[in-house]
Amino acid sequence: MALSSLHCHPFPYTVITQRHTIPFSLSFSISSTFRFSSALSSSTSATHQPLPPDFSPSQLLDLLRRQPDESSALRLFQWASAQPNYSAHPSIFHELLGQLGRVGSVDSMLSLLNQMQSSACPVDESTFLIFLETYANFELHAEINAVIHLMERDFALKPHTRFYNVALNLLVKANKLKLVETLHSKMVADGVAPDVSTFNILIRALCKAHQLRPAILMLEDMPNHGLRPDEKTFTTLMQGFIEEGDVDGALRIKELMVESGCTLTTVSVNVLVNGLCREGRIEEALRFIYDEEGFSPDQFTFNALVSGLCRTGHIKQGLEMVDFMLEKGFDLDVYTYNSLISGLCKLGEIDEAVEILNHMISRDCSPNTVTFNTLISTLCKENHVEAATELARVLTSKGFLPDVCTFNSLIQGLCLTSNREIAMELFEEMKEKGCEPDEFTYSILIESLCSDKRLKEALRLLKEMEKCGCARNVVVYNTLIDGLCKSNRIEEAEDIFDQMEMLGVSRSSVTYNTLINGLCMSKRVEEAAQLMDQMIMEGLKPDKFTYTSMLKYFCQQGDIKKAADIVQNMSLNGCEPDIVTYGTLIMGLCKAGRVEIASKLLRSLQMKGMVLTPHAYNPVIQALCKRKRTSEAMRLFREMMEKGDPPDVVSYKILFRGLCNGGGPIQEAVDFTVEMLEKGILPEFQSFGFLAEGLCSLSREDTLVQLINMVMEKGRFSQSEISIIKGLLRIQKYNDALANLGAILDRKRPRRF
- In a domain, residue 355? The reply is no
Cβ 497 vs Cβ 511: under 8 Å: yes
Handedness of CA 682, 687, 693, 699 (dihedral sign): negative
Cβ 369 vs Cβ 344: under 8 Å: no
- In a domain, residue 746? The reply is yes
Eight-state DSSP code of residue 261? T
Q: Which amino acid is at 436?
A: E
- In a domain, residue 574? The reply is no
Q: State pLDDT tens for residues 392-422.
A: 887 777 777 788 888 888 898 888 888 889 8
Q: How many CB atoms sit inside 10 A of residue 262's CB?
A: 18
Cβ 379 vs Cβ 394: under 8 Å: no
**CA–CA gap between residue 327 and residue 341 (Å, rounded):** 21
> What pLDDT was estimated at residue 559?
83
**CA–CA gap between residue 267 and residue 270 (Å, rounded):** 5
> What pLDDT was estimated at residue 749?
64
**CA–CA gap between residue 442 and residue 282 (Å, rounded):** 38
Eight-state DSSP code of residue 588? H
pLDDT band at 386 (very low <50, low <70, confident <90, very high): confident
- In a domain, residue 279? The reply is no
**CA–CA gap between residue 335 and residue 299 (Å, rounded):** 10
The percentage of the chain sitting over the pLDDT mark of 70, rounded to a whole number, equals: 92
Q: How many CB atoms sit inside 10 A of residue 17's CB?
A: 7
Q: What is the pTM of this model?
A: 0.58
- In a domain, residue 717? The reply is yes
- In a domain, residue 748? The reply is yes
Q: What sections of 679-733 are H helices per DSSP?
A: 685-697, 701-714, 719-730
185 backbone dihedrals φ, ψ, rounded to 5°: -60, -40
**CA–CA gap between residue 349 and residue 346 (Å, rounded):** 8
- Residue-level length of the chain: 753
Handedness of CA 746, 749, 751, 753 (dihedral sign): positive
**CA–CA gap between residue 540 and residue 575 (Å, rounded):** 13
> What pLDDT was estimated at residue 557?
81
Number of domains in the chain: 1
pLDDT > 70? residue 317: yes
The string over 327-346, giving b where at least 16 C-beta atoms fall within 10 Å of a residue's C-beta and e elsewhere, is eeebebeebbbbbbbbbbbb
**CA–CA gap between residue 202 and residue 173 (Å, rounded):** 11
- In a domain, residue 716? The reply is yes
> What pLDDT was estimated at residue 169?
94
- In a domain, residue 248? The reply is no
pLDDT > 60? residue 77: yes
Q: State pLDDT tens for residues 79-122.
A: 888 887 777 789 989 999 999 999 999 999 999 999 988 888 89
> What pLDDT was estimated at residue 516?
92
The overall average pLDDT reported for the chain is 85
Terminal Cα-to-Cα distance of the chain (whole angstroms): 36
pLDDT > 90? residue 229: yes
Cα 82 to Cα 25, 76, 117, 655: the distances in Å are: 10, 10, 16, 103
Contacts with 243 (C-beta within 8 Å, 6 or more apart), sequence order: 207
pLDDT > 50? residue 8: no
Residues of the domain holding 717: 665-752
